[in-house]
A = this chain, B = another copy of it.
Amino acid sequence: MKIELASSYGFCFGVKRAIEIAQKYENSATMGPLIHNEDEINRLKKDFNVGLYSQLSDVKPDDTVIIRTHGIPKNDLKELKKRVKKVINATCPFVTTPQNIVKNMSKEGYSILIFGDIEHPEVKGVKSYADDLDDVHIILSVHDLKNIKFKNNKIACVAQTTKKKETYLEIVNALILKNKEVRVFNTICDATFENQDAARDISIKADIMIVIGGKSSSNTKQLHSICLENCKDSYLIENEQELEISWFKDKEFCGITAGASTPDWVIQKVYEKIKSFKP
């Protein structure tokens, strides 16, 4: 069986940067999981004693606290700065961009549309920067627009950095037809584009696709859904332990891709285990 990695996969700029920051601040703690990858978080704990808080109320005054790549809501950041000695911001710069856009556009009197998952920490953070929180609308598809009442006919749009560009265009197109001005900010991350395009290319050729990444990682789930469009035997796994030998029976071409928060050492282990199944 041929085993091939997508031409672009895995760690993006923001994740690499956040991990470097965490490694630099030994004995610190992150506010929420630094990235959506449990194996890597366990490694940071083991090798650098980087802890993890899930609630603001748990922090202690002497802590050094690292803001996760996805960012946190504006008021949480303010509160955190009051409570601890040192706050290190590892928010991905590509997430800071939509935070600033929402802040400025809301101030300029635009209604805000966020294309993203209302429960995702990045989206919660981005939303929090609006002046008028009642005029920020978060949707996942063009169909959700019918339930929305904007306060203005000037709309500013941002997207969660890891979302699918095609769906974003569907949404902004519908808005353009019904509003005088739509200000479209392309906040989808290039790394996401590249991984998505490469996943599409390889999944067309493969008869089995292995997508490696956290089950709660938005961009990994996106990759999985793209692969499923072209290759029905596409599996999402977090690490090599989830691989099942039966998946590979009669397969001739195994494609591999990985989400933006999947470390190379996890990908390597998956690759080797697959190879051991069918040398």
Chain A residues engaging chain B, CB cutoff 8 angstroms: 165, 168-169, 172-173, 176-177, 179-186
Contacts and interface: CB of A to CB of B under 8 A. Distances in A.
A165 B175 CA distance: 12
Contacts of A180: 185-186
B186 A181 contact: yes
B186 A183 contact: no
Contact of A181 (B173, B177, B181, B184): B184
Given A183-B181, A184-B182, A169 B176 contact: yes
Nearest to A168: B176
A184 B183 contact: yes
How many identical subunits does the complex contain?
2
A185 B180 CA distance: 6
16 contacts: A165-B177, A168-B176, A169-B173, A169-B176, A172-B172, A172-B184, A176-B186, A179-B186, A181-B183, A181-B184, A181-B185, A181-B186, A182-B183, A182-B184, A183-B183, A184-B184
A185 B168 CA distance: 18
A-B residue pairs, 6 tightest by C-beta: A182-B184, A183-B183, A169-B173, A176-B184, A181-B185, A176-B186
Contacts of A184: 172, 176, 181-184
A180 B169 CA distance: 14
Contacts of A179: 186
A149 to B, nearest CB: 19
Nearest to A174: B169
A87 to B, nearest CB: 28
A126 to B, nearest CB: 16
Given A177-B186, A181-B186, A182-B183, 19 more contacts: A165-B177, A168-B176, A169-B173, A169-B176, A169-B177, A172-B172, A172-B176, A172-B184, A173-B173, A176-B184, A176-B186, A179-B186, A180-B185, A180-B186, A181-B184, A181-B185, A182-B186, A183-B183, A184-B184
Contacts of A185: 180-181
Contacts of A168: 176
Contacts of A172: 172, 176, 184
